[in-house]
Structure 1
């Protein structure tokens, strides 16, 4: 496996810890949900491991995608500094006001066109059980996923902290033929919230989401490094195996590329 570094690839997706993922596409380096703090106690959440790659080792970052800014397991203090120093942050409208002058809030299905030729579309997500939706349409807080598209490049669906298969089905309907699905799993749970029910995909529901998307290449993040994750990589692998789609799951050691242009080239 090739380690993630400051060197950019024509295309690559790799997880560096928790939800934090690096995506190289069409000349851009994109970082999703940056969390760069060392292990520590955040009160109701405990971080058990730091990132496999330091922020400084990633070189220049062009775009930061923040699914939501309200929870430290998706944006801790170190990650917030990375976002504030980034030339562009795409996030939810409620999070944009926290993330400086370069932050832009997108509502579901709103598209941002980057000058480099990359299009990023916000997608819906529900951060918890569907029967807990507020009148504003949220669960827990406002959360976004994203679809990344560029000419002659694989498309990437970034699910964010989502527990809703219905939201995934909407993405599949609007964006058929997603090349790479980046799904948050971990079955995140907080005992005081929603009868301790999962706030993100369980391993089984992540496998179901991959099937709904008909994705041939799946990378799973948000399943390590925090104490409130109930499902880890072993549970994810078993779930994909039981569903008969183990070949779609592209796992790699944290800090290494999972899907690259070479992998996609061999699969075409």
Structure 2
């Protein structure tokens, strides 16, 4: 696959590193959870790899889809600066939008917003969908969420694949709700890696394990799956090889679409 660069496509998905994914959708460009710092130690976690694509190489971006703003592995220092000063729109949850202010809009679960398509042929609908950032019985924060308020997203537009972006979800419960509302998910971008911190919820996974990611793909019926948030940070307890094994054991290995970071996993200009 070709390298991710400033040229926009009808439909494309490519992982930059960690949870940062570029999605071209009707030539509208989205970036998920921007992390553009060089390797550094944040105390509770460390970034191990630089971004595979420098932010300047992405060209203009229409919107950031931010699952949450609380953790450096989803919004690091450079990513925060860029998202809040250089991108016209940040779509996130209500709490994050309040904290970020300015260009951020907060969508509660099932709320939607629309963006004009970059190709000028209509609109892209972005729907906020539920996510649970850890085990269902995990410790809840002051806002009542496990670990943090986290938002997933669904993208829809005429003539384009329906795309689900999980954000830092670790549970099948919200996926069951999503599957009932969206029966046509064509592409699932899943944050996996089984992220763990010994101080959080007895060290249990805060993002999808390989087997849980396979279960999500099966529950949604998604024929194409791009795995993100699985390399480049100290908190991951699984690798892409673990996810491949889990998908193979579930009998859905052919659904995984993988490419090196910095290149397009999916690309369609037809």
TM over 0.5, shorter chain: yes
Match of 1:197 among 204, 221, 238: 204
Match of 1:155 among 158, 162, 173: 162
> Structure 1 residues 111 and 133, CA, compared in 2 at 3 Å: closer, same or farther?
farther
Structure 2: segments with no counterpart, 5+ residues: 118-122
SS in 2 for 1:228: coil
Q: 2:15 is matched with which residue?
A: 15
Q: 1:209 is matched with which residue?
A: 216
Is the 2:14–2:261 Cα contact (8 Å) retained in structure 1?
Answer: yes
Q: 1:55 is matched with which residue?
A: 55
Displacement of 1:261 in angstroms is 1.8
> Structure 1 residues 7 and 199, CA, compared in 2 at 3 Å: closer, same or farther?
same
Q: 1:102 is matched with which residue?
A: 103
Q: 2:31 is matched with which residue?
A: 31
Q: Deviations over 1:184-241 (max 9, x none)?
A: 0000000011110000111110111000011100001000000110011111111111
SS in 1 for 2:152: strand
SS in 2 for 1:173: helix
SS in 2 for 1:118: strand
Is the 1:217–1:259 Cα contact (8 Å) retained in structure 2?
Answer: no
CA distance in 1, matches of 2:267, 2:139: 37
Q: 1:121 is matched with which residue?
A: 127
CA distance in 2, matches of 1:253, 1:224: 11
What is the TM-score when the length of structure 1 is the normalising length? 0.96
Give me the CA root mean square deviation: 1.2
Q: 1:183 is matched with which residue?
A: 190
What is the total number of aligned residue pairs between the two structures?
263
CA distance in 1, matches of 2:263, 2:99: 30
Displacement of 1:56 in angstroms is 0.2
CA distance in 1, matches of 2:99, 2:10: 32
Is the 1:122–1:146 Cα contact (8 Å) retained in structure 2?
Answer: yes
Is the 2:132–2:168 Cα contact (8 Å) retained in structure 1?
Answer: yes
SS in 2 for 1:183: strand
Q: Does 1:71 align with 2:77?
A: no
CA distance in 2, matches of 1:119, 1:251: 26
Displacement of 1:118 in angstroms is 0.4
> Structure 1 residues 30 and 211, CA, compared in 2 at 3 Å: closer, same or farther?
same
Q: 1:130 is matched with which residue?
A: 136
Displacement of 1:133 in angstroms is 5.7
Structure 1: segments with no counterpart, 5+ residues: none
Match of 2:152 among 128, 145, 149: 145
CA distance in 2, matches of 1:132, 1:100: 29
Displacement of 1:100 in angstroms is 3.4
Q: Does 1:87 align with 2:88?
A: yes
Is the 2:45–2:234 Cα contact (8 Å) retained in structure 1?
Answer: yes
CA distance in 2, matches of 1:243, 1:221: 19
CA distance in 1, matches of 2:220, 2:200: 29
Q: Deviations over 1:56-103 (max 9, x none)?
A: 000000010110000000000111122112101000111112323110
CA distance in 1, matches of 2:158, 2:200: 42
